[in-house]
Chain A
Amino acid sequence: MSDRAVEVRGLVKRFGDVEAVRGIDLDVEAGETFGFLGPNGAGKSTTISMLCTLLRPDGGDARVAGHDVVRERDDVRRNIGLVFQDPTLDGYLTAEQNLRFHAELYGVPKAIVPERMRMVLEMVGLWERRGSLVQTYSGGMKRRLEIARGLLHAPRVLFLDEPTVGLDPQTRASIWGYIEQLKEQEDITIFVTTHYMDEAEHADRIAIMDQGRIIALDTPEALKASVGKDRVQLQVDDEAAAIAALRERFGLDATIAEGHVTVAVAGGEAFVPRLFAELGVPIRGVSVARPSLDDVFMSYTGTTIRDAEAGGGPDPLMRIMAGRR
């Protein structure tokens, strides 16, 4: 048995004719925080469902906490904690009752339940509200309670599927605070999916998934360094002319992303004066940004994650062409 928390080889899942996950490989070391990044519909949730034994793979192997997700389903289940995108709490029960049921379903020894319950509830700041019906909770409180519940049975691997989606920035930040705190307190591996690029920075390593495949896998720093270029965005009236001029005068391939002409350039600041001097197309504004995970995503897929979710960006053709490059 390896001490890897997650081991995936050639994992495939089809829904009818659609191949949602197209043979992915993945290793997550014990103790790691692993970010799983990609636009909605990339296959992240399908992958996580297979790892959590909720979906049967159509091909390949996956082991979680040392157990096969198909053949040793119950062993996998005992060793994982889950926090789903959608709430899975019983609103008619109190927070305490929800946790108590969870403890019993998982067979947490009775003697340690009160202590453990207090610990997880205090961690997410809900100890005082433990007697309230869950239906009176706000969205953020429910998510925090789900995290507490996912931790109650001390899982070795905690899966968080979009734990911050639909929450306000403050609550999002506090949820990441709990995750960091958790890493210090427990010997736990965290597998988290998100489509917020900025959140992925919290992870030790990141896999970027797009259209059912893993297109990049490394530390956030290494991924950003691999891009190496700054992102320059131009506000212009005639975008087509600007793209053509960038190609002619500078030999740069520009795309339209999030409504702006976007181009990747090494040394972005020094490029701006040349741009104004030589482009020959009126410019209304320019912004320069250091490479972010967004740029990583863009350099691999030719589109930003937000445009990918909007359905292929302003020009779907551009995405297809970029994908073939």
Chain B
Amino acid sequence: MAATETRPAAAAPVQVVIPPAGWRADLRGIKVVWQRELIRFWRDRLRIVTSLLQPLIFLFVLGGGLAQIASAGTEGVDLRTFMFPGALAMAVFFTAMFSAASVVWDREYGFLREMLVAPVRRGSIVLGKCIGGATVASFQGLLVMALAPLVHVPYSAVMVLEVLALQLLLAFMMTAFGVMFAVRVTQMQAFMALMQMVVTPMLFISGALFPLSGLPRWLAVLNRLDPLTYAVNPLREAVFSHLTLTPAARAALLPGITWFGWQVPIALQVGVVVAFAAAMLSVAIVQFRRA
């Protein structure tokens, strides 16, 4: 059946036939939401700059300031070099949260409704949002990546690719995580407060800013439960594998992640992030269907 019948009128309108729902419609939905995310990110240059500020402050102000005190424990490695992978994670992290926050924004300004009544599955809207968040956040991560030489990390194509892949994954997970909450929250202030409460502790606990060796027991337990841990550690591995470190420095700064004394392989760590991302995406989609 044709979706529209048109009468031969004086000003004959263009014949429009809207195709039925299906996977093509869902793909279109994903693409539209993704594109919109990119356009909006690009329009908002101020956001690009401000999201860069946070990791840079941590890296150069905090890292630079503490470098003297910390030098005893870093086995000759510049604290800023150590914190660099953490800054890479942070850049991605905050940008991804911002993308998720736009769901709240869209609700407040009504655009969400335009997407909710469209003949596409809600899951494709969430998926588009997460892919969009992952794309813009990874771009932001690349900008921080470009600063590598400033913290004594030489460029390497392999490293950049590894880092980029991990950032994409981390950003996807964080956008899904944010959307999960954003769907439920109707006010921007509430979302921002919630994120401050949840995200900042997650970031600190993940070990983005300190090595995982010799943590107090309670902190070590929290650290293993934090999904971010399993993204930050591979990021650090990816960067540090291109540095020449003394065995002592490696042991102190890069002890890896252990579960009850068992060394978790990098592949499994990445697998944990994938699993978290998939779980968060599913929850976000279910939440969104009810919205």
Contacts and interface: CB of A to CB of B under 8 A. Distances in A.
Contacts of B5: 187
B46 to A, nearest CB: 12
A170 interface: no
Contacts of B19: 107
A90 B14 contact: no
A9 interface: no
Interface in A48-96: 52-54, 74-75, 77-80, 82, 84, 86-93
Task: Tell me if B's interface is mostly helix, strand, loop or mixed.
Answer: loop
A90 B20 contact: no
B6 A187 contact: yes
A150 to B, nearest CB: 10
A45 B39 CA distance: 33
B215 interface: no
A87 to B, nearest CB: 5
A88 B20 contact: no
Most buried by B among A106, A115, A119: A106
A105 interface: yes
Interface in B90-123: 106, 109-120
A147 B280 CA distance: 37
Contacts of B111: 88-90
A154 B5 CA distance: 10
A44 interface: no
Interface residues of A, number: 40
A108 B31 CA distance: 14
A128 to B, nearest CB: 20
Interface string B5-30: 11101110111111111001100110
Interface residues of B, number: 42
B36 interface: yes
A224 interface: no
B118 A116 contact: no
A156 B4 contact: yes
For A97, A101, A119, A153, the residue with the greatest tally of chain B CB atoms inside 10 Å of its CB is: A101
B29 A105 contact: yes
A54 B118 contact: no
Contact of A89 (B110, B119, B120): B110
Question: In this complex, which of A77, A78, A79, A109 has the most chain B Cβ atoms within 10 angstroms of its Cβ?
Answer: A78
A92 B18 contact: no
A155 B16 CA distance: 9
A185 B115 contact: no
A106 B118 contact: yes
B3 interface: yes
A202 interface: no
B7 A154 contact: no
A102 B114 contact: yes
Contacts of B28: 104-105, 107
Contacts of A107: 18-19, 24-25, 28, 119
Interface in A159-179: none
Contacts of A79: 3-4, 18
A153 B18 contact: yes
Nearest to B113: A88
Contacts of B152: none
Contacts of B109: 87, 90-91
A184 interface: yes
Contacts of A185: 9, 11, 13
Contacts of B14: 112, 115-116, 119, 154
A180 interface: no
A78 B43 contact: no
A154 B4 contact: yes
A54 B43 CA distance: 31
A186 interface: yes
A120 to B, nearest CB: 10
A89 B110 CA distance: 7
Nearest to B115: A105
Contacts of A53: 117
Interface in B14-62: 14-21, 24-25, 28-29, 31-32, 35-36, 39-40, 43-44
Nearest to B114: A88
Nearest to B16: A154
A156 B16 CA distance: 11
Contacts of B20: 74-75, 78
Interface pairs A-B: 9 shortest CB-CB: A154-B16, A88-B110, A74-B21, A77-B119, A105-B118, A88-B114, A78-B119, A78-B18, A88-B113
Given A78-B20, A108-B16, A153-B18, 20 more contacts: A75-B119, A78-B119, A84-B110, A86-B113, A88-B112, A89-B110, A90-B106, A92-B40, A102-B114, A105-B28, A107-B25, A107-B28, A109-B17, A112-B14, A116-B14, A153-B16, A154-B3, A154-B6, A154-B16, A185-B11
